[in-house]
Structure 1
Amino acid sequence: MPHRSKNTAAIFNAFAHFLFLAVLVSLPVLVIRLDIDTLKTGASEGTLVEYMEQFLICLTILCYAYIAKHNPSFRRFGVLVMGFFLCMLIRELDMFFDELVFHGFWVYPASIVAASAIIYSLTDRAETANQFAAFVNHRNFALLCMGLVMLLVFSRLFGMGSLWREVLDEGYVRAAKNIAEEGTELMAYVTIFYASLRYAFAMKPVKDKAAHKANSNVFCKH
């Protein structure tokens, strides 16, 4: 009976996980529909899609902040990862900085964040390298990498104007191209956040030396 109960719980958890993922991947479509049908803005600057992307980056940063706080053995590389995503957030806020200061100002705060994160991580190069290796060996890295590739490569190729002009021919409208590109980007951010959330759940708050030692090896598990 205990064995059967354990199997039932495992099946239930898998089904619940499937439903959670179904809701998660439906989010980009829902947001785009709200942009089109409710906000009447399409998928361009200053839209709900863009705000959701920024929100997901913030959540991603919080995931690594949580890990860095509760796992000192990952702190240096954790700060480096946080700096990377914070630079992405600053880049997404370029229009805000353009209006507040001047065009292209986002480069300056992004450079400061990047330099600070790199300098801190280099205070102990060997430890940072060890943390980097453990990070990429973790089972969730493939999912995180897929999200980054979707964001930095696939969304750019899929959103090329020349591709959509060829597909739509005389019926080409820029809104269709924008929706395809922004929707793909949003799905990539969802994937990145989900992978980062899994990293965060893999960690447990360190309360003693034994727990600290156990957590320092958690990223090497497959």
Structure 2
Amino acid sequence: MTGVGIRYFLYLLSTYFLGEVLILETRLLGPADMYSEWGIVERLHSGMLFLAVIFALISAWRSPTCRELAICLAAMLFMLLLRENDATFELFLPHGVWKYFAAVVAVAVTVYAVPRLKRIMIQANEYVRSAAFGMFATAVIVLAFSRFFGQTTHWKLVMGEQYMRHVKNAAEEGVELLALTLVAMAMLEFLFMSRSMKAVSLTGNQ
């Protein structure tokens, strides 16, 4: 089995452990606490986004041929990480403060990206033709679906008078965990892709 095949097998295997995490949270926490901001699943959301940011930054560090794009991706993912940890910020800071942190990151990455826009477009053009982008696009689609899937009105229609919020949360947070795990996997694939881009660049310069 090739290295790519092994990685994808491990990705598939990881989905089993995601299911086990959902079961574990259900067993450890009561209906009032399961899938809350302080539960295992929510912490894993942040963990997956943190890994994705790290993978993007390593790509920027190791491969000059995709550095600008990698930094932009890292900034975007970092803003998602800030949003995911809004409840943590609000323990010490005013409500909604994550938006100001995200705005600072957005302004900084815009200032960085504008003078490098041509290089970013060239790098993005190569990225969108890769399997790594296919996985990233899938992750974004699943993440968007988790938002629609988790709407309270939908679940109230499904369960009627038997509506239970923790059931809705279990479904929504489980799908979101899958999406963010796919994001981390996609950034790992981007890291491997950036290494091959570096090799091509070095070959071309010889």
TM-score in terms of structure 2 length: 0.89
CA distance in 1, matches of 2:203, 2:152: 47
* Structure 2 counterpart of 1:21: 11
Judge conservation of contact 2:132–2:193 (CA < 8 Å) in 1: no
Q: Does the Cα contact within 8 Å between 2:11 and 2:185 map onto a contact in 1?
A: no
Residue 38 (structure 1) aligned with residue 28 (structure 2): yes
For 2:142, the equivalent position in structure 1 comes to 150
2:118 to 120, 126, 138: 126
Classify 1:107/1:176 alpha carbon distance in 2 versus 1 (closer, same or farther; 3 Å): same
2:112 aligns to what SS in structure 1?
Answer: helix
C-alpha spacing 1:13/1:137, structure 2 compared with 1 (3 Å): closer
AA aligned to 1:149 is: I
The answer on whether the counterparts of 2:58 and 2:191 sit within 8 Å (CA) in structure 1 is yes
Bigger-Rg structure (1/2): 1
Matched, 1:191 2:191: no
Q: Which residue of 1 aligns with 2:151?
A: 160
How big is each residue's C-alpha offset from its partner over 1:68-98, in whole Å with a ceiling of 9 and x where there is no partner? 1111121111111000000000011111111
Structure 1 unaligned residues grouped into runs of 5+: 1-8, 217-222
Report the Cα distance in structure 1 between the residues aligned to 2:12 and 2:24, rounded to whole angstroms. 18
Aligned to 2:194: 203
Structure 1 stretches of 4+ moved >3 Å: 16-19
SS of 1:203 mapped into structure 2: helix
Q: Does residue 1:177 correspond to 2:168, yes or no?
A: yes
CA distance in 2, matches of 1:66, 1:212: 18
Alignment check: 8 A CA contact 1:203 1:215 kept: no
TM-score, normalised relative to structure 1:
0.83
Alignment of 1:84-123 (within 5 A): 84-123=76-115
CA distance in structure 1 between the partners assigned to 2:118 and 2:203 by the alignment = 18
Number of aligned residue pairs = 202
Map 1:75-90 → 2, pairs under 5 A: 75-90=67-82
Q: Which has the higher contact order (CA 8 A, sep 6+)?
A: 2
Contact map agreement 1:70 1:205 (CA 8 A) in 2: no
Q: CA RMSD in A?
A: 2.3
Identity %: 25
The change in CA–CA distance for 1:205 and 1:86 in structure 2 (over 3 A counts) is same
Q: CA deviation at 1:212?
A: 6.3
Mapped contact 1:141–1:195 kept (Cα < 8 A): yes
